[in-house]
């Protein structure tokens, strides 16, 4: 997916993209696929839903983790 400000939607830093300003992280941001996990969600984190976001995406109560951080059973790797 191409880099576009649509991927900023919902990010807490998106306020910087309004009124002609630009988020300080936008230039360096890379498009990635991550697994969304709620901070109150209990393991195992068995999910097959990936979301496409910027690597700097910041959301309340949700972590966006790389697939390699979870083992095959949905638990954190050591």
Q: What is the pTM of this model?
A: 0.77
Check residue 36 and give its pLDDT: 92
| pLDDT tens across the length of the chain (78 residues) | 788 888 888 888 776 666 667 788 888 899 999 999 999 988 888 776 899 999 999 888 999 998 888 888 888 887
Check residue 18 and give its pLDDT: 67
Check residue 27 and give its pLDDT: 86
Number of domains in the chain: 1
> For the residues of 18-55, what is the DSSP string, one character each?
STT---TTTTT--EEEEEEEETTPPSP------EEEET
Alpha-carbon 39 to chain mean position:
13
62 belongs to a structural domain:
yes
77 belongs to a structural domain:
no
Check residue 44 and give its pLDDT: 86
74 belongs to a structural domain:
no
Q: Which two tokens stand for residue 23?
A: 């988020």
């Amino acid at each position: 997916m191409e880099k576009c400000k649509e991927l900023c939607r919902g990010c807490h830093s998106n306020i910087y993209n309004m009124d002609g300003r630009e988020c300080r992280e936008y230039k360096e941001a890379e498009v990635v696929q991550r697994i969304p996990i709620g901070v109150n969600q209990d393991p195992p984190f068995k999910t097959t839903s990936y979301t496409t976001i910027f690597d700097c995406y910041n959301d309340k109560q949700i972590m966006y983790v790389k697939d390699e951080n979870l083992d095959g059973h949905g638990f954190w790797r050591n």
